[in-house]
Structure 1
Amino acid sequence: MIETASHPSEKRNAFTLSCLQALGGANPAIVIALGGLAGQQLASRPDLATVPVSIYSLGLAFGTIPAAMVMKRLGRRNGYFIGTLLGIAAGLTAAYGIFSHAFLVFCLGTLFSGLYAAYVQSYRFAAADAAPPAFRTRAIAWVMVGGLFGAIIAAQAIILTRDIWPAIPFAASFVAQAGVAALAIPLVMCLRTPPPSPKQQSVHGGRPLSEIARSPRFVIAVLAGVISYGLMNFLMTATPLAMIGCGHSVQDATLGIQWHILAMYGPSFFTGHLIERFGKILMTTLGLILIAVAGIVALSGLSVAHFWLTLILLGAGWNFGFIGATSMVTDCYRPEEKNRVQALNDFLVFGCVAVASFSSGHVLATGGWTAVNMIVFPFVAVILAALLWLWYYDRRNEIGAVGA
């Protein structure tokens, strides 16, 4: 019998994780907004200015598997407490690097930020794992809503602290980053995730990871997540640079990114309901189509309206595609396999996102805005074909089961 309602404790956990996502989401927003500017004043060469942001991306990618191992051994709540301590250390270390004018120390702080983000990115899986099947997709969407508030918290933290220490710009904002991370501690203590069972703690529990990774459903789910997030990051990184290059103002570019963030997280209020009604594959497909439409709009003109509409479509496409792909991943593992499978998924997704972030500026500089957008279409075509095959495979099996 399929469970159709969620228990109040499961909704409370999902809401708590959404609040944690809001606080944890401020961490990358501050690093991305200020990392390059702080790096510019600390680095010995101008071309090293964006290294701190790149190190954040690497920390996120390579932190996913150690974070999963910690949570597998100690449980979600204890793991998130450790992650929160990393978040506090990140802000304080980065602030000290600015204060002492030590570029490497500042980079260490952004590395800690990436390691903290590896725990934050698993909040969506924690909500899904603690929810019954009927509530699982909505639980993921609830957590993603927190990202919208994370961007708001980051912006306010920067505005309120930027002039506190005029002699050392940006240092107070990174102290604020540590303070926001510290606010997560009481919320982590409120989580009621079940402790890991001996079966879940065992390294050998469940099927071999290689067997799961070869299953078509897992491969397609990961590809959908990689392409949704990777293309979003690739285009988002290049768009402000392209706008400035086309003669638009910094204010126009900033407003475009704000619209983009709203489009990324705003649909999460109803994405879960849409996935429940229309299915994971269909909504993931819609997300990828919207990303392709964003590329078409970008190629059709260079006005501010074209850039803004591109960013809005890109954000909405990421929301449907990434939440849908995450929901598909949750169908691929048993409880004792969840930590390893989730870690592999996030390592692949955020490893590719880091590559997209590094390559975006290079493609824009060498091939121009047209080349950046033309790259979108072959990737979208491949994953759309894979999703169509998976939908046909599921339909055929359903018809076969009914006929039997």
Structure 2
Amino acid sequence: MTSTAPAGTTTSIPDTGRTQRRILRVLVASQVLSGAGLAAGVTVGALLAQDMLGSTSLAGLPSALFTAGSALAAVAVGRISQARGRRPGLATGYLTGAIGSAGVITAAALDQPVLLFIALFVYGAGTATNLQARYAGADLAAPDRRARAVSTVLVATTLGGITGPNLAAPTGTFAETLGVPRLAGPFLLSGAAYALAALVLAVWLRPDPLLLARTHADAQQADTAAVSATSAHDGRGGVVLGALVMILTQLVMVAIMTMTPVHMHDHGHGTAASGLVIALHIGAMYLPSPLTGWLVDRYGRMKIATASGITLLSAGILAATAPGDSVALLALALALLGLGWNFGLVSGTAIITDTVPLATRAKTQGMVDVSIALAGATGGMASGLIVAATSYPVLALAGGVLALAVLPAVAATAYRR
């Protein structure tokens, strides 16, 4: 009797492993590029708004806008992927991010805050697409290697994510030679990076991983029906838990990260210092991914989700107590912040992918990422208001404590099982 793989894994198809490796290579290439585009807005977005508006209370608005924009983009990318596959969905998302980058540069050159806010909203499509790409890495992966497949895509963002912030100063100088404000310089890099990422996916992401996974699943239709019938209840619980883990980690991470460059600027640090701190933060968000993926596959989703809450609490405490003139301690706090986010994203993504059937996978994943993006928008917008009303240490400590809400959610799910 010939054995068949569980639905959606397609491990019984001889060439699936080779195809999966090719797909991961293409996704890695696109993520290296998109990482640079993602990092640019994080590094100078708040400073650009502060400079144009002359107000710290609205410095969190750029983060809120491009994360809100990523919420809308997550729906669009998810629906396009559901209907036509990952390739057109991801390529469209990155191209939209490139258009938003061009809009930011135009707004800065014309000193038009309203245009800046619209452009930042559109720019958020790149952020959403960067995260959606992790799902494409898991479409053809076997269940016991899904977290590692997700982590392979995530870690590829590291190179661009670390390089991008450290180019804030030189791209700013280059922008000035073009007659563009210095703080808009990194968006020159992000526009080019997102456009190239879209090109890589449009040309080389073949065969489409989601469409191929569906084809293989159709060949195992009986098994798919059996698995779906027995796991529907667990699937609903898994979606809720996976989404909650990622929502909490995103909210806390964005809130603290957004105001750190502003906090450093207020203590006399320049863009080079804040760029270094953000680069280390983004490195910690993505670089540990292979280890995190192995830990999730080896020790289970729940344990690593719990670790994310504890790590984020540690980051919040350290950021709150670090002296404002200590770049080293702030860098360490932001590194812990990135690591806690990584734990939450990889474990939460694995939980979602485990429990959502292929028939509705991309659409459900897109809706989950909408919630994540809205959480980020909330964190970004609230961060500036909280700091203006209280202080950066209060924001950091409150965020760390909020992250602990992951623990009772994991415990409740474990108890139901």
TM-score (norm 1): 0.83
Alignment partner of 1:121 is 2:142: no
Indicate which of 17, 23, 38 corresponds to 2:33. 23
Matched residue, 2:77: 67
Counting aligned pairs with the same residue, the percent is 25
Shift of 1:276: 1.6
Match of 1:350 in 2: 373
Measure, in 2, the Cα distance between the counterparts of 1:298 and 1:271: 23
Asked whether the equivalents of residues 212 and 333 of structure 1 are also in contact (C-alpha less than 8 Å), the reply is: no
C-alpha distance in 2 between matches for 1:186 and 1:14: 13
Map 1:270-309 onto structure 2 (within 5 A): 270-300=291-321, 302=323, 304=326, 305-309=328-332
Q: Which residue of 2 aligns with 1:177?
A: 190
- Contact kept in structure 2, 1:94 and 1:109, CA below 8 Å: yes
Report the residue type matching 2:158 in the other structure.
L
Task: State whether residues 213 and 219 of structure 1, in contact with CA within 8 Å, keep that contact through their aligned partners in structure 2.
Answer: no
In 1, Cα distance between the equivalents of 2:385 and 2:52?
Answer: 23
Q: Secondary structure of 1:7's match?
A: helix
SS in 1 for 2:354: coil
The correspondence of residues 1-400 of structure 1 with structure 2, limited to 5 A, is 7-40=17-50, 42=52, 51-155=61-165, 158-166=168-176, 167-170=179-182, 173-184=186-197, 185-191=199-205, 192-194=207-209, 196=211, 215-243=236-264, 247=267, 249-250=269-270, 253-300=274-321, 302=323, 304=326, 305-376=328-399, 378-394=401-417
Residue range with higher mean Cα deviation, 57-66 or 100-109? 100-109
Equivalent residue for 1:402? none
**Which stretch shifts more, 71-80 or 289-298?**
289-298
Structure 2: how far apart are the matches of 1:299 and 1:173? Answer: 28
Query: Are residues 212 and 105 of structure 1, via their aligned partners in 2, closer, same or farther at CA, if it must alter by over 3 Å?
Result: farther
Report the Cα offset of residue 50 of structure 1.
5.7
Structure 2 unaligned segments of length 5 or more: list them.
6-10, 219-224
Q: Does the 8 A contact of 1:226 with 1:352 survive in 2? A: yes
**Hey, what's the Cα distance between the residues in 2 that align with 1:299 and 1:47?**
19
Q: Deviations over 1:278-316 (max 9, x none)?
A: 111111211211112223334555372543332222221
2: distance between equivalents of 1:297 and 1:174?
A: 31
What is the root-mean-square deviation in Å for CA atoms of aligned residues? 3.3
SS across alignment from 1:77? helix
Q: Could you say if the C-alpha distance between residues 88 and 130 of structure 1 is closer, same or farther in structure 2, counting changes exceeding 3 Å?
A: same
Amino acid at match of 1:341: T
Deviation (angstroms), 1:10: 0.4
The answer (yes or no) to whether the contact 1:22–1:147 under 8 Å persists in 2 is yes
**How far apart are the structure 2 equivalents of 1:172 and 1:244?**
18
Seen in structure 2, the aligned counterparts of structure 1 residues 332 and 364 have a Cα distance that, compared at 3 Å, is: same
Equivalent residue of 1:282, what SS?
Answer: helix
Q: Is there any run of 5+ residues in structure 1 with no aligned partner, and where? A: 201-205, 395-404
Provide the residue aligned with 1:398 in structure 2. none
Residues 195-224 of structure 1: per-residue CA shift (max 9 Å, x gap)? 746999xxxxx99xxx88993322221111
Distance (whole Å) between structure 2 residues aligned to residue 96 and residue 301 of structure 1: 37
Distance 1:182 1:43, change over 3 A: same
Paired residues of 1:62 and 1:351 also in contact (CA < 8 A): no
Aligned in 2, Cα 1:106/1:302: closer, same or farther, shift over 3 Å?
closer
Tell me which moved more, 26-35 or 299-308. Answer: 299-308
Does the CA-based 8 Å contact 1:14-1:142 persist in structure 2? yes
Letter in 2 for 1:307: L
The 3 A distance-change label for structure 1 pair 298 and 154 is: closer
Q: 1:241 to 1:117 in 2, by over 3 A?
A: closer
Q: Is the 8 A contact 2:74 2:366 kept in 1?
A: yes
> Post-superposition shift, 1:38?
4.0
Give the number of the structure with larger relative contact order, counting CA–CA contacts within 8 Å between residues 6 or more apart.
2
Displacement after TM superposition at 1:59 (Å)? 0.5
User: Are 1:130 and 1:193, in contact at CA under 8 Å, matched by a contact in 2?
Assistant: no
Compared CA separation, residues 162 and 212, structure 1 to 2 (3 A): farther
User: Bigger CA drift: 298-307 or 375-384?
Assistant: 298-307
- SS for the counterpart of 1:330 is helix
Q: How many residues align?
A: 385
Q: Deviations over 1:5-52 (max 9, x none)?
A: 971220221222122122222223222333344445655978666644
AA in 1 matched with 2:143: P
Q: CA 1:248–1:289 in 2, change beyond 3 Å: closer, same or farther?
A: farther
For the residues of structure 1 that align with 2:403 and 2:108, how far apart are their CA atoms? 41
TM-score (norm 2): 0.80
Counterparts of 2:315 and 2:330, CA distance in 1:
9
Asked if the contact 1:212/1:332 (under 8 Å) is kept, the reply is no
